[in-house]
Amino acid sequence: MKCAMCENEKSLKRERITVKYKDCGLDNVTLIGVTYYKCHECGEEYFSYGNIEHLHKIIAQVLLKKSGFLSGKEVRFLRKQLGYSGQMFSKLIGYENETLSRLENGKQPITPAFDRVIRFSVAERIHDRNYDLHDAILKGGEKFKRIELTSTPQGEWKLKLAA
């Protein structure tokens, strides 16, 4: 690929790098094998995350079976995964818009009932799990602090670890 920002006519060199995927709104997701280009003339950087829809779906499936409660940031990530605005989502789950906003911002603690309504409303829309959500929750969920994914040569993503 060529630089879109300057007159540099040379093809940019492609690299595979590891990044903290903060763009998704979560602090603990690492992507291994992101395609990266940097223009040596103007310094412009280009990142290619491959199939983002697939990537976010895998992250969502990991979050749904997490032990303990979801964090506000995780709730926001899952809501966005459904394509809902805060207003639409709060209407769907029967909460005030401002309450949802406080919960997402971490200004109000997540309650067990809220945690479950989020998980089930998300799970109802996002399928293709390789586990049963009810079983996972009844068994106490999975403990993890960070999520790592690796890219495949086809531009898809694979869960490496949730630990």
Q: Which residues make up the interface to Zn ion (CB under 5 A)?
A: 3, 5-6, 8, 39, 41-42, 44
Burial class (CB in 10 A: 0-12, 13-18, 19+), 111: exposed
Q: Is 103 helix (H, G, I), strand (E, B) or coil?
A: helix
Least distance to Zn ion from the beta carbon of 99, Å?
Answer: 46
Name which of 3 and 34 has its Cβ closer to Zn ion.
3
Least distance to Zn ion from the beta carbon of 13, Å?
Answer: 12
Q: Which two tokens stand for residue 26?
A: 């979560």
Q: Kindly give, in sequence order, each residue whose CB lies less than 8 Å from that of residue 153, ignoring residues fewer than 6 positions away.
A: none
DSSP summary character for residue 140: T
Q: Is 92 helix (H, G, I), strand (E, B) or coil?
A: helix
